[in-house]
């Protein structure tokens, strides 16, 4: 059976199933994610195309960046598939003191689990998977990708803009790839008053990987200070973030 037939079969099955059973499947996705990821220490989520091969510049950059972050004690979270996701998991897998996490999605094409994860979860629904990709991270790194990557970029921007998440950095890697998109955002969205200048500044477009790592470390230090000043240094969230410092990986 071809991919089109498989998709049609899955769609028909979903719309004919009782709503109550769909709710249970959705809850199962969330419970699984909360249970497995709730106690993670400082983590960074890397997004990018599943169609990028090993010789691609951005595959190599994703692997290098993930390795640099993992060396400093940050867990790496990806969508668990091939391409840039594989590259990031591969870079993180070199370090035994961190988790290389893959949050996979059940798809009839394209998505297969890469072999470089130390912790792997599979989700039935994109929206529950997306929550887990962003909920437990202190920074999001967006490398070149297609519709899914752009969806995740704008989801992240919306969450930060509306302050549904705070203290999270958004880095976009690939100046040549993304500069026209940033130009559109500035010349159309900002120019017509649909976003504010501060919203534009949420995006850090750069190819400087060292700068990304340094800013993520500074962000961790800032978050710990804010939580401590707020009297939240005895919470599980503070302890999970400070685990990197306590392990001696963070100065």
| Residue 245 resides in a domain | no
| Residue 65 resides in a domain | yes
List the end-to-end C-alpha distance of the chain, in Å, as a whole number. 55
The pLDDT, as a whole number, for residue 2 is 57
Neighbours of 5 (CB within 10 A): 10
| Residue 7 resides in a domain | no
Q: What is the pTM of this model?
A: 0.86
User: In terms of residue numbers, what domain contains 55?
Assistant: 42-177+207-221
The pLDDT, as a whole number, for residue 167 is 82
Exposure string of 168-192, with b = 16+ CB inside 10 Å and e = fewer, is bbbbbbbeebbeeeeeebeeeeeee
| Residue 133 resides in a domain | yes
The pLDDT, as a whole number, for residue 229 is 87
| Residue 96 resides in a domain | yes
The pLDDT, as a whole number, for residue 91 is 98
Q: Are 118 and 137 in contact (CB under 8 A)?
A: no
| Residue 5 resides in a domain | no
**CATH of residue 79:** 3.40.50.450
Chain CA centroid to CA 89, Å:
12
| Residue 144 resides in a domain | yes
Q: How many domains does the chain have?
A: 1
| Residue 249 resides in a domain | no
The DSSP-derived string for 85-129 is HHHHHHHHTT-TTS-EEEEEE--SSS----TT-SEEEEES-HHHH
The pLDDT, as a whole number, for residue 90 is 98
The pLDDT, as a whole number, for residue 245 is 53
Q: Where are the alpha helices (DSSP H) in the chain?
A: 3-16, 19-37, 57-71, 84-92, 126-135, 147-161, 175-184, 197-200, 209-229, 236-246
Angle between helix axes 57-71 and 84-92 (nearest 10 degrees) is: 30
Chain CA centroid to CA 210, Å:
19
The C-alpha atoms of residue 206 and residue 212 are separated, in whole angstroms, by 8
* Run means of pLDDT, 10 residues per run, the chain, 251 residues: 58 57 78 82 95 97 98 95 97 95 76 88 86 91 97 95 90 98 98 96 97 93 85 82 60 41
């Amino acid at each position: 059976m071809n991919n089109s037939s498989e998709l049609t079969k899955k769609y028909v099955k979903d719309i004919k199933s009782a709503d109550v059973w769909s709710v249970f499947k959705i809850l199962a996705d969330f419970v699984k994610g909360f249970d497995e990821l709730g106690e993670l220490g400082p983590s960074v989520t890397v997004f990018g195309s599943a169609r990028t091969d090993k010789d691609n510049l951005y595959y190599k950059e994703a692997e290098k960046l993930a390795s640099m972050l993992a060396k400093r004690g940050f867990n790496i979270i990806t969508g668990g598939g091939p391409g840039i996701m594989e590259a990031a998991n591969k870079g993180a897998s070199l370090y035994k003191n961190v988790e290389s996490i893959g949050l996979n999605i059940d798809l009839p094409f394209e998505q297969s689990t890469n072999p470089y994860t130390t912790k792997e979860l599979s989700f039935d629904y994109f929206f529950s998977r997306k929550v887990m990709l962003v909920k437990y991270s202190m920074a999001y790194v967006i490398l070149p990708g297609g519709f899914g990557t752009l969806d995740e970029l704008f989801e992240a921007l919306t969450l930060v803009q509306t302050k549904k998440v705070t203290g999270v950095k958004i880095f976009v890697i690939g100046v040549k790839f993304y500069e026209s998109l940033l130009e559109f955002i500035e010349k159309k969205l900002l120019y017509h008053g649909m976003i504010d200048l501060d919203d534009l500044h949420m995006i850090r477009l750069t190819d400087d990987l060292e700068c990304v790592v340094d800013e993520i470390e500074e962000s961790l230090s800032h978050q710990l200070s804010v939580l401590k000043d707020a009297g939240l240094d005895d919470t599980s969230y503070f302890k999970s973030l400070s685990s990197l410092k306590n392990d001696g990986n963070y100065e």
